[in-house]
Structure 1
Amino acid sequence: MSNVQTAAKPTLAYVSLALGALGVIAGFLVPLIAWILGLAALATGFMAYRQPATTKLGQIGMTVGFLAVLVGVFTFTSIIA
């Protein structure tokens, strides 16, 4: 494995965490953005989870992404009701 591939491994996990955190924050304002960012965090977290070096960060990223989707659903139902 080259140095470029080794250095890129934790990037997916950190991107997943960042997307999930932005999704949670945006979820209180615009639910659609929270859903998009949450699903993107779930996808990148799953890709990071498949790599042995970033398994734990991938799990955390998927959890935060799922939380962003839930915040978006809560905000959407609050607006509709």
Structure 2
Amino acid sequence: MSNVQTAAKPTLAYASLALGALAVIAGFLVPLFAWILGAAGLVVGFLAFRQPATAKLGQIGMAVSFVAILVGVYHFTSLIA
């Protein structure tokens, strides 16, 4: 493996965590952004989960992104009701 490949591995996991955190914040403001960012966080987290070195961070990123989607759904339904 080259240095570029080994350096890029944790980037996916941290990107998943960042997307999930942004999606949670966006869930309270604009639910549509929470759904989009949450879905992106799930995909990036799954890509990080497939690599053994970043599996745990990827799993945490997927969990945070899923919670963000739920926050967006809750906020959307509370706005509608």
| TM-score relative to the length of structure 1 | 0.99
Shift of 1:45: 0.2
Instruction: Spell out the pairing of 1:2-81 with structure 2 (5 A cutoff).
Output: 2-81=2-81
Which runs of 5 or more residues in structure 1 are unaligned? none
Which amino acid in the other structure matches residue 10 of structure 2? P
Over 6 Å off, 4+ runs: none
Which runs of 5 or more residues in structure 2 are unaligned? none
Shift of 1:29: 0.8
Number of aligned residue pairs: 81
Cα distance in 2 between the residues matched to 1:37 and 1:71:
12
* Sequence identity percentage: 79
Cα distance in 2 between the residues matched to 1:54 and 1:29:
30
Shift of 1:36: 0.3
Q: Secondary structure of 1:28's match?
A: helix
Cα distance in 2 between the residues matched to 1:68 and 1:38:
6
| TM-score relative to the length of structure 2 | 0.99
